[in-house]
Amino acid sequence: MRRSNHVPPARDVSVDSVDIAVVSANLGFESPGKIPPSEKTGARDSDPRRLRPDSRDPLEGPCGGLSLPDRLLRQLHREGVPRVLFAGPSDTLSKIRELLRRGRRPDLWPRTIEFRVARGEEKYPEPSGLGEGRKFLLLPLHAVIDSYLLRLLLSAEKSLFVSGGGTEAGVVFPGAADTTVLPVERLVHYDPSVRKTRRPILHAIRSREDIEEAERLLLSSVQKEVLDLPGRYFDPIFEDRLVRLIAPTAITPNMVTVTTTTVGFGIAAAFRRGFLRAGALATLAISTLDGVDGKLARLRIETSRLGEGEHFLDFLYENSWYIALGKRLGMPRTATAMVASDILDNLAYLTIQKTAGKMIDELSEGDRFFRLIAGRRNIYSWIFVVGFWFGRKRTILRAAAFWAAFTAAVHWIRVGMVLLATADRSTNRQV
């Protein structure tokens, strides 16, 4: 094996398909079927099937609401892997079958799942039916693996292993003489889905403490970074607790989305009837709930069309608040101006997304900073809470409308700057 420090850029990772993923209970340990020493407990070579009396089998998790086999199958299905082979001791395979029978979403798994008892010292079996020159994934059973790592392995053009966190994962070209090994620490990359730079997760699971640590890493990995002040420093405190509570249950992200939308329109009704303080406080709850469905979907690998359209639902109920307040306070023009500003701001984001391939907030450090205080629902919620509580109803609605217009103006200035820079680059290429 050859160790390498070359790390492919995240944007260069293009996924290629594989015929099969082999998930081995014997992979990534010091010897087949053995787990390496735990840094936390000091245990030596403990068998993964022999656990402390006060703990369940780590395979059960739940880690992010899922057992380890269920989580891995969902990830492989999302990456287009059609066939999975679980290999290991017979009692481990029986446990996997039992866990999968309890699985709530088999529609999110690859269409073919096979089981093979490992022979003696066999670390992993070579799958049958591989086409000439085809590769297969080789993954550890007792681990949590980042989807970025799966995509990196799927894109490999030769045998490649990633090591770290007490385990390893790889892609194998049968008969290949050269294998590259990359330490996971070298794979720090920018993740546009959460708008931050992060290290991929590759974490061996050998105890309940490891499951808790893996869940903490997973929650951190699905937390978006470029947010407003409440979304970055206040809401996650409650979001993470709710997600941990909901994840092991049958509650789906869609259920949370529907609940949030229903409450959102209920707040508009409360504003229209004059319950301004109660409605303003409820908007704070919405700010927390609105982050739960997305986190839950990313954590449990459950995306849906409703979730993809969630931003449109947010737009509808948020602007219903401003219209309801305008009618209640006799300020329809102010409310209309606020809605118009929100529409213009959304168009600015859409323009930059199509032109630069990223959000306005990702363009520079200055844009990231402005996002902290820019006019958005979370900022308006706190403005409403303070203003309504102290009886400054009309003044606070004017202030929110002004800040919405100012935010849209700043963002459209940034749109102009980006379009001019793009035009200059195009002219220079032609010259």
State the pLDDT at residue 129: 67
pLDDT tens-digit series, residues 338-386? 999 999 999 999 999 999 988 999 999 999 999 999 999 999 999 999 9
- What domains, with CATH codes, occur in the chain? 2-220 (3.90.550.10), 227-430 (1.20.120.1760)
Mean pLDDT of the chain: 85
Rounded-to-integer distance, Cα 23 and Cα 142, Å:
9
What confidence category does residue 48 fall into, taking pLDDT thresholds of 50, 70 and 90?
A: very low
Answer with the residue of higher pLDDT: 322 or 123.
322
Query: Rounded distance, CA 377 to CA 383, Å?
Result: 10
Return the pLDDT at 266: 97
Confidence class for position 310, pLDDT limits 50, 70, 90: confident
3-state secondary structure of 298: helix
CA separation for the pair 381, 280 (Å, rounded): 6
pTM for this entry: 0.82
pLDDT in tens, 95-114: 999 999 998 899 999 999 99
Cβ atoms of 282 and 267 closer than 8 Å: yes
Q: 90 Cβ partners below 8 Å, 6+ apart?
A: 117
Cα-only R_g, the chain = 25
Q: Which pLDDT band, with edges at 50, 70 and 90, does 166 fall under? A: confident
- Rounded to 5 degrees, φ, ψ at 2 are -120, 125
pLDDT value of position 60: 84
What are the structure tokens assigned to 195, written together? 């708008």
List, for residues 293-308, the tens digit of each pLDDT value.
989 999 999 877 776 7
How high is the pLDDT of residue 309?
Answer: 77
- At 56 the pLDDT is 58
Which token pair is 408? 């849209």
